[in-house]
Amino acid sequence: MPAASSLLASPLCTWLLAACMSTSFHPSDPLPPSISSPRRRLSRRRILSQCAPLPSASSALRGSSFHTLVTSYLACFEPCHDYYTSASLFGSRPIRTTRRHRRLNRASPSREAMAVALQPEQEVTTKKKPSIKQRRVVVTGMGVVTPLGHDPDVFYNNLLDGTSGISEIETFDCAQFPTRIAGEIKSFSTDGWVAPKLSKRMDKFMLYMLTAGKKALTDGGITEDVMKELDKRKCGVLIGSAMGGMKVFNDAIEALRISYKKMNPFCVPFATTNMGSAMLAMDLGWMGPNYSISTACATSNFCIMNAANHIIRGEADVMLCGGSDAVIIPIGMGGFVACRALSQRNSDPTKASRPWDSNRDGFVMGEGAGVLLLEELEHAKKRGATIYAEFLGGSFTCDAYHMTEPHPDGAGVILCIEKALAQSGVSREDVNYINAHATSTPAGDIKEYQALIHCFGQNRELKVNSTKSMIGHLLGAAGGVEAVSVVQAIRTGWIHPNINLENPDEGVDTKLLVGPKKERLNVKVGLSNSFGFGGHNSSILFAPYI
């Protein structure tokens, strides 16, 4: 607890002290001119001064706590008998006394001042927060659930081969929709990862999240023996979702049409975006930072940045972070169709997602999850973990312009990238690989490209690609999966192609964009962009661990 002298410097205590000291004159002292007139109605201050004198500030400070100090000064505001029998402060009608007030008056019939005892306490000293050396954050594990595979290596090899995961939707009959294609996950099993009872009740976004999270732990060498050695108070989960449990909620609405008794009792908790992180933490027994962030399609990057900050500040040593979404259901598809955001190239699904191509007609919906295992460097080295890359930092901004459209001059994106570079201590020349947000929308792709040219136009080594050309747009999970792509590029020395880039937009330099085949690149610093509805912009940076 701070010393009393420092407490008195606060606005609250200053006001209390000033108010109370102003009423502390003794009844025998001459009255101030403002209340010396015998004809003037007694003021509340005059009445209060006759009830309980205050201890002096110096005596109150000696050996007293803040609680007793405040109690002693608040005693001056306890009205006495004169107050309740005098004229009202706002009129001449007397104020009715209560049983409590009459009891208090009987206890002190003479209305003499009552002493207030101050309990002495031991002096408490304030400890200064120790300075913390900058803690480095590294990536030691990855987990994915995607249309191109559920293993980081399988997933990335398919990207390098230019394989498309876009196909016709099979989960439901979408004949009524103008869009009937998506980056749909055709085969997925939770066996060995999620308890069967939960697997039947949970929304897919939670199942994807739990599976990808546990796979990241396995990939990071967190075995049962290692788990026992971890300080679970400093292990956390920060995995978000843009849309949450839409199917669970939709099913509940359909059940409600019959009766509330037909509703899934888990419909509320399993629809919320935070419950995936919560359930994973319960499964692991991790008691550190645990929550989710929802910033539309920028969700994963926000989660990764905040998870890293928990490690940097010493609040955690290990964090699972990223994003998950599963919205390929009628209400999800219908909503985005109504927004006129989706491609309608149903006759040729693998050609539908085409960032920067002049013939693009909207993005393709995808689903899945991407999770990184972030760890404090010394903690990772101590347990002998394999370090894939180092997280350098990042930033986020808001366009504050439009719900779905990017800012016309790209101001928010430019500011975000520049802040990310400054926060990470990275120069523009050091960034030679960018995994762009590039969703295949007419306005979004070109605005991001222009922002990149503004920030990195003089860097001739720079290469840019978009993972979405092959898996579609995974919404809140996009940044997590694309962060895995950046880390894999650093690990392997290969960057994946941009497929379907046949007729680039006018003004787009194809030398900057990766071609139709994978390319060799010694990544110095890789940047991943994610932007979301509402004007959310985010940029994060990774580099080889040295």
Which percentage of the chain shows pLDDT scores above 70? 76
What gap in Å lies between CA 212 and CA 341, rounded to an integer?
Answer: 28
Task: Give the tens place of pLDDT for each residue, 280-309.
Answer: 999 999 999 999 999 999 999 999 999 999
Task: Give the tens place of pLDDT for each residue, 496-539.
Answer: 999 999 999 998 999 999 999 999 999 999 999 999 998 899 99
Longest dimension (CA), the chain: 99
What gap in Å lies between CA 302 and CA 184, rounded to an integer?
Answer: 25
Task: Give the tens place of pLDDT for each residue, 408-441.
Answer: 888 899 999 999 999 999 999 999 999 999 999 9
What gap in Å lies between CA 363 and CA 470, rounded to an integer?
Answer: 11
Exactly one of 150, 310, 407, 473 is catalytic; name it: 473
Q: Which residue has the higher pLDDT, 38 or 546?
A: 546
What gap in Å lies between CA 505 and CA 43, rounded to an integer?
Answer: 80
Looking at residue 128, its pLDDT comes to 53
Burial of 180 (0-12, 13-18, 19+ CB in 10 A): middle
The answer to whether residue 455 is catalytic is no
139-544 in CATH: which number? 3.40.47.10
Torsion of CA 246, 250, 252, 254, to 10 degrees: -170
Looking at residue 451, its pLDDT comes to 95
Torsion of CA 142, 145, 150, 156, to 10 degrees: -60
What average pLDDT does this structure show over 95-124? Answer: 45
Looking at residue 307, its pLDDT comes to 98
Task: Give the tens place of pLDDT for each residue, 223-280.
Answer: 999 999 999 999 999 999 999 999 999 999 999 999 999 998 888 988 899 999 999 9
3-state helix/strand/coil string of 108-172: CCCCCCCCCCCCCCCCCCCCCCCCCCCCCEEEEEEEEEECCECCHHHHHHHHHCCCCCCEECCCC
The residue to which tokens 């986020």 are assigned: 396
Per-state percent for the chain, helix, strand, coil, to nearest 5: 40, 15, 45
The answer to whether residue 536 is catalytic is no
What average pLDDT does this structure show over 456-460? Answer: 90
What gap in Å lies between CA 279 and CA 343, rounded to an integer?
Answer: 35
Contact 82, 42 (CB under 8 A): yes
Contact 504, 452 (CB under 8 A): no
What gap in Å lies between CA 484 and CA 506, rounded to an integer?
Answer: 31
What gap in Å lies between CA 269 and CA 197, rounded to an integer?
Answer: 16
Give the distance, in angstroms, between the CA of residue 69 and the centroid of all CA atoms in the same chain.
40
What gap in Å lies between CA 121 and CA 435, rounded to an integer?
Answer: 61
The residue to which tokens 């180092």 are assigned: 390
The residue to which tokens 């002298």 are assigned: 5
Looking at residue 138, its pLDDT comes to 98
Instruction: Identify the CA nearest to 219 among candidates 484, 25, 502.
Output: 484
Instruction: Return the exposure string of 513-538: e unless at least 16 CB atoms fall within 10 Å of the residue's CB, then b.
Output: bbeeebeebebebbbbbbbbbbbbbb
The answer to whether residue 150 is catalytic is no
What gap in Å lies between CA 459 and CA 527, rounded to an integer?
Answer: 14
What gap in Å lies between CA 307 and CA 239, rounded to an integer?
Answer: 9
Highest mean pLDDT among 32-36, 115-119, 366-370: 366-370
What gap in Å lies between CA 236 and CA 238, rounded to an integer?
Answer: 7
What gap in Å lies between CA 119 and CA 98, rounded to an integer?
Answer: 30
Q: What is this structure's pTM? A: 0.76
Looking only at the bridges linking them, the beta strands covering 519-520 and 318-325 are unpaired
Looking at residue 133, its pLDDT comes to 66
Exactly one of 310, 437, 496, 536 is catalytic; name it: 437
Exactly one of 76, 297, 416, 455 is catalytic; name it: 297
Ramachandran sector of residue 522 (left: φ over 0; alpha: ψ -120 to 50; beta: rest)? beta
The per-residue DSSP string of 350-403 comes to: GGT--TTBTT--SB-BB-EEEEEEEEEHHHHHHTTPPP-EEEEEEEEEE--S-S
